[in-house]
Amino acid sequence: MSAAPLNQPLAALPDAAGPTDVPLHVGLIMDGNRRWAKARGLPRALGHKAGVDAVRRTVQASADAGIGWLTLFAFSSENWQRSADEVRDLTGLLRIYLRREVGALAKNGVRLRVIGDRERFGPETASAIAAAEAATRDNSRLNLTVALSYGARAEIAQAAKAVAAEVAAGRLDLSAIDEAALGRHLSTVGMPDPDLIIRTSGEQRLSNFLLWQAAYAEFVFLDVLWPDFDATHLDQALGEYRRRVRRFGAGSG
């Protein structure tokens, strides 16, 4: 499948596309850690730890499958409403992942980016994120984006504020505001829109993930809890994607 230019406005998308091969960009909503732990009589923290193992498998499987961009929804802006103990467990696992995995990511050609409000995790974690991004910035085999303290509505609102500020400062004419103008201020600027979004755990909703970017994505919902997700499940989702005909609004006839 040929790749569309980065940040291509929706109006410029092709009218239709036949069955596709490998999606350029896959978004993944990782859901089910807590249910996985509860079903086994384990503490929540062990469910999240098992989820980190699934991330490791999925990054490798995505690179092996030839996926160029993988975006993982790891921690939503709404997740801060969870108990203090669970938030502490999650942020602790994040720091451990950054410390232990960055070497493997760099060695395997994976570039790491983080979108979302990283500063909310505190200066130590924000510094670790910046260091991991710097250590992997020259890699190109797989672009791994992790959404942390991320919410799509807040992202769009922030982009709208930035566009309004440009208009107020006289740097942008009101008549020049279009999808591309707003897209330049999204956290995903420079990234292709997702072709496929996968959600685990059997739930069928986006939960405030990449709402703008997912306008023409294909969706696959899998009845597997995230800690059990592996290359077989990824292949299942990719197989379903290959059977789709992407029309980009051109109709179903």
239: burial class by Cβ within 10 Å (0-12, 13-18, 19+)? exposed
Residue 95 marked ligand-binding? no
Residues 78, 151: contact at Cβ < 8 Å? yes
Residue found under tokens 């098992």:
50
Residue 99 marked ligand-binding? no
d(C-alpha 164, C-alpha 65), whole Å: 41
113: which strand partners? 145
Residue 44 marked ligand-binding? yes
Residues 200, 29: contact at Cβ < 8 Å? yes
Residue 32 marked ligand-binding? yes
Residue 34 marked ligand-binding? yes
Q: Per-residue DSSP letters for 115-137?
A: ES-GGGG-HHHHHHHHHHHHHHT
Residue 153 marked ligand-binding? no
Residue 205 marked ligand-binding? yes
Residue 101 marked ligand-binding? no
Residue 137 marked ligand-binding? no
Tokens (6 digits) for 36: 């996985």
- Report, in this order, helix, strand and coil percent for the chain, each rounded to 5: 45, 15, 40
Residue 113 marked ligand-binding? no
| First-to-last C-alpha distance (Å) of the chain | 22
- By annotation, the residues acting in catalysis are 31, 79
Residue 218 marked ligand-binding? yes
Binding residues: 31-36, 44, 48, 76-78, 80, 82, 199, 205-207, 218
Binding residues for Mg(2+): 31, 218
Binding residues for substrate: 32-36, 44, 48, 76-78, 80, 82, 199, 205-207
